[in-house]
Structure 1
């Protein structure tokens, strides 16, 4: 503590930002113990679950995951990499492990962003650890706490691994390529390039948003490398090739015609136009008070390191325009195939990407501005009187905004609310009771009640009153039953219901 109080103002700011990230993430990890499988968790995990129950062999389990990926590629949809990971959901081994879902998704999201900011800002733009750690932690607080649909981002395994996990893999891919260009070790460079190729194949075989966004970002990355005449960047064509190969097999999968059903896709021109229209609509929706406050919070931190560097930031207008196009193209797969912006799990990663683009645009613009002026916040006479009042005002405004925000609009508030009112505990116990009923031996037909509570963070979907519904059939197959019925016993009328 003595060292802390003797530290500089920026170090204290870094410490407090990381502390806020940790404290706001802890409720999300704690409530994960009450998380349970639902919907597609059973369809994608059925075969791997059966193999594990019969053999308890990790090798056979991985083989079953590859088989599931192969089967779904032929019969349902093309994202073969996502199908592989979706078939390995934790309850395949034990329902008690399903709570690891949130730990995995939040861990991937946090680790990928910290690495990305460390490499880009620290290794390339000359930021010190206090700079990029503060920026990464503050950025993650915003993304984690304001997700459009947190249950599909962190707690529903199949949805979160298909989008949140794969989005994080894309950031790891970009970080690997940037590290590859910096390293002078051939062995380390070869390992980074191999990892980038593997991640490229995974991203190409993931959801169509990430599968399209990854080659777009790789091309933008290649454009910067060409501008700076980095010949070593030619090796980056290899991960791009693996990404495009994965995307090709993703798009041409026979199962896509089944998933598409009777929906007629839009024309490419209409889809592109609508993508920009949705991009503007959601840009206005997602630039809320918390985003604006975070921009104000990070502006002095960013200026502190860009004003000290002598790096070039040419053509900021072009960079901002290209970043907006990169953000808009994330709407195109959903608009083209479904006719609307996309499901909530799609919007989760699009919002994260928008915030990332905007923060990078801010850094680039401030870097360009710093090259045109001599003003610097590194002057102690300027920093002390100005920044203290600056951050005090931001803190007070944030507290006032939180006071007028509904609990379920802030992820950690929603977790605390569900725990305090007992919704999470009741949901957990009712799931355990349902599993006990479904696990009874010698019974082929089972009736289960609906849930009396549906916590905003934990509940994604329920069984159907029609026993022929695919969800009921998947659960019946999982537990070895012929028929599973659900009876609506409880009327849901409290405020903590989706």
Structure 2
């Protein structure tokens, strides 16, 4: 047993664990990256990109494109929905540059989901909690795998521009805003305040879960810095301006006449519904969190690692500033629960809307839970080791490492197969090795050759098979009036676009 403990102490160092964690994260991202190079625009991408595409065909120049985009946003505002800032970015769909350029969708998703979350947690863990680099990367790497591999709707979050820009993008901006709030109050640097102003204004017109998350988070920063860290300078009150700008932006979104068309005739304000919504949110804050923990076994491993790393980092921490911010566990837990619950408010208030909910809504819930869960674990661990059990010299570290390692191995042995088969990596890898990815690429090139041919005004394309792997691909139908056909026709400047069975296509047009 002694030799085993010595071996564990020698091998399971923070540095080695960090290297392994980073390697696992990189490997986990590779299948998604591979598929990203075969991703193409579809459905709503064409709807939102059509106005600028037509302006470009007409040679209207930069200002002509801006005018076309603005007219399209106003039309949607009155006809369907009011999320104006998302609407602006919707219409800058990458396919306007080229079909191949659409691949940046996945890379933007990585940047906003992983990059911005890393930035926020780097500030919390490295700057506020004084963790070392190895500890930070252990937690960040495994968290990144959880975020990307088991998000509820990866097709929308990773591969579909419209879904990504409406939920993943504003989530990333929210993480930036939180970080900038703290940094502004600590440094007084105007660049952080400008970032907060721009970020909060944008979020006001973006996806509704992020509107709630940003507002609640900034309010929490205000309360925390004022009453816990005792910041009394005027900059604290200046946070009310971006908060107000977000509320104005949200009011513009909420007041859109088109919201009734999307939500149905019953959509509107109701005092009764407000109280019902609060009850539902508090319930979802618990049931939703429990569901994520049950359905995502890697979160169990992440939990063990966060607790273990927190123990190592806080058990040797003598920084009085760190100790001071970790003395309010009850307040932190209450605020965390309120934030996790609050993001459900838009859905709970709206109920069963006529057009249904985008999968990105549920991605937002999942992202919020994971970030808050990590913060809760870190905070409670820090409080425990600094206040409840400060005398820990007699703890056998090797024994704890042995027990935790055994627990992780047991989780992997019991749930490993389930984790693999439910991951987006498995979907991507299976799609590639089965030959379906190559088939999808071949069919897309065939279709694009027809749609991009300016000599064809009434486009007839062969139907594609239903094997889409990780991609969000809206099928074209025989009926030229259906939504996907209509927006595809408009984007490519055709008189009509239809899809017919391949046998019929080959018979009429040859292969």
Q: 1:371 and 1:158, CA in 2 relative to 1: closer, same or farther beyond 3 A?
A: same
**Cα offset, 1:8, TM superposition:** 8.2
Name the structure 2 match of 1:248. Answer: 251
Deviation string 1:324-377 (CA, Å, 9 cap, x unpaired) is 221122122122224389442110110110111111111111122123234578
Residue 487 of structure 2 is aligned to residue 471 of structure 1: no
CA separation in 1, counterparts of 2:313 and 2:423? Answer: 31
Name the structure 2 match of 1:496. Answer: none
Residue 38 of structure 2 is aligned to residue 48 of structure 1: no
Pairwise mapping of residues 135-284 of structure 1 onto structure 2 (< 5 A)? 135-183=139-187, 189-227=189-227, 228-231=229-232, 232-264=235-267, 267-284=273-290
Residue 452 of structure 2 is aligned to residue 448 of structure 1: no
Residue 401 of structure 2 is aligned to residue 397 of structure 1: no
Q: 1:81 and 1:382, CA in 2 relative to 1: closer, same or farther beyond 3 A?
A: same
Pairwise mapping of residues 346-425 of structure 1 onto structure 2 (< 5 A)? 346-374=361-389, 382-388=396-402, 390-391=404-405, 393-395=407-409, 397-398=411-412, 400-405=414-419, 407=421, 409-425=422-438
Equivalent pair of 2:298/2:419 in contact (CA under 8 Å): no
**Cα offset, 1:392, TM superposition:** 5.2
Q: 1:140 and 1:168, CA in 2 relative to 1: closer, same or farther beyond 3 A?
A: same
Deviation string 1:207-256 (CA, Å, 9 cap, x unpaired) is 11111221111111111112122124222222212212211211112332
CA separation in 1, counterparts of 2:256 and 2:405? Answer: 52
CA separation in 2, counterparts of 1:62 and 1:52? Answer: 11
Equivalent pair of 1:423/1:453 in contact (CA under 8 Å): no
CA separation in 1, counterparts of 2:135 and 2:419? Answer: 30
Of structures 1 and 2, the one with the larger relative CO (CA 8 A, separation 6+) is 2
Equivalent pair of 1:36/1:428 in contact (CA under 8 Å): no
**Cα offset, 1:270, TM superposition:** 2.1
Pairwise mapping of residues 62-101 of structure 1 onto structure 2 (< 5 A)? 64-101=68-105
**Cα offset, 1:31, TM superposition:** 0.7
Q: 1:394 and 1:17, CA in 2 relative to 1: closer, same or farther beyond 3 A?
A: same
Name the structure 1 match of 2:340. Answer: 327
**Paired residues, number:** 480
CA separation in 1, counterparts of 2:66 and 2:305? Answer: 46
CA separation in 1, counterparts of 2:477 and 2:348? Answer: 28
Q: 1:123 and 1:414, CA in 2 relative to 1: closer, same or farther beyond 3 A?
A: same
SS in 1 for 2:53: helix
Deviation string 1:381-417 (CA, Å, 9 cap, x unpaired) is 833443255235414532542224462x101121111
TM-score computed with the length of structure 2 as normaliser: 0.87
Equivalent pair of 1:21/1:141 in contact (CA under 8 Å): yes
What is the RMSD computed on CA atoms of the aligned residues? 2.6
Equivalent pair of 2:156/2:472 in contact (CA under 8 Å): no
CA separation in 1, counterparts of 2:77 and 2:453? Answer: 34
Name the structure 2 match of 1:336. Answer: 349
Equivalent pair of 2:260/2:267 in contact (CA under 8 Å): no
Name the structure 2 match of 1:302. Answer: 310
**Cα offset, 1:300, TM superposition:** 1.1
Between 1:475-484 and 1:316-325, the stretch displaced more is: 316-325
Q: 1:470 and 1:205, CA in 2 relative to 1: closer, same or farther beyond 3 A?
A: same
Deviation string 1:412-445 (CA, Å, 9 cap, x unpaired) is 1211111111222212221221122223334332
Unaligned stretches of 5+ residues in structure 2 = 1-8, 504-511
